[in-house]
Each structure stands twice: as C-alpha cells, then as structure tokens.
A = this chain, B = another copy of it.
Amino acid sequence: MPEPSDHSTVAAWTKRCYFAGRALMDATLRPYDLGATQWYVLRHLADVGPAMQRDLGRALELERATLSGIVAALVRKGLVRQAASGGDQRQRLLTLTASGEALWRRLPDLSFIQEAAFGGIDAADLAAAVRVLRAATERLQGLAGKAQAS
C-alpha cells in the first residue's frame, strides 16, 4: 500500500518557514519602527527611485488596499512623500523624503536572513523546493480562479 506522501507536512513547513522568516525580519526592523512590508517599499524606492503607487503594487505583488495602508503609515512617519503627479490625476507618485533616505542608509542589510535560511543548502534540493512551491502555487491559484469563474 503506497504510503501517501504526507502533504500536510509540506504545507505545515511552508507556513512555519514563512513565519520564521517574517518574525526575524520583524525583530530586526523593530528598533527602527518599521514593518517588513514597509521595508520592501523603502528598498524599492531607494533602489529604483520614485515610482507610481500602481507600479509599486505590481512590483511587490501587493493589493491596492494593502499598499494604501502601508503608504499611509510611511507618509505618517515622514519617510515617503505621496503626490499627485503626471498626466493621470488618479495616480500617485511616491518619493523618499530626505528623512526616508537617511533612515534607509542607517538600516542594516537584511540579506543575511536569506543567507542564514538557505545558505549552504544543497543546490539540487533548493531547485526541487522551488519546483514544488511554484507548482503548488500555480495549481492553487488556478483552482481559486476556476472557483470564481463557475
């Protein structure tokens, strides 16, 4: 009798791993009063310069409503400026303020987290993990879409 591969194990570890990384990121950023997603926004603005909120949402795969809250928090802290700009009066251009740039320069490099998590792990295993996770994600998203289309 073929033992069914324990799918619940993969699922459980996926969740645990996500939250472990998230927790470490949160803990590292706490002294700077920043959340993980806020950090991603700052990094994007620091790396590629001012961006339309719409494009940033696409780049970071955030829902409009979610990003709206994140941006509001960053504006409240004075780290980001949000201005109507460009031909389309609906769109908002996001720019780092001087204070935002200063904070960004003070922030520690967070790449140590990924290195700590996956550094030195067998490359073939890593590739297999990516294959599994991507396949699962695509199937799940397909199912979710189909459920709606019914």
- Name A residues whose Cβ lies closer than 8 Å to a Cβ of B: 5, 7-11, 13-18, 20-21, 23-24, 27-28, 61, 113-119, 121-137, 139-141, 143-144, 147
List the B residue with the shortest CB-CB distance to A118: B7
A132 near B144 with CB under 8 A, answer: no
Copies of this chain present: 2
Question: What distance in Å separates the Cβ of A25 from its nearest Cβ neighbour in chain B?
Answer: 10
B117 near A9 with CB under 8 A, answer: no
List the B residue with the shortest CB-CB distance to A135: B121
B16 near A137 with CB under 8 A, answer: yes
Task: State whether A118 and B10 are in contact (beta carbons under 8 Å apart), knowing that A15-B18, A136-B17 are contacts in the complex.
Answer: yes
Residues in B neighbouring A122, C-beta threshold 8 A: 128
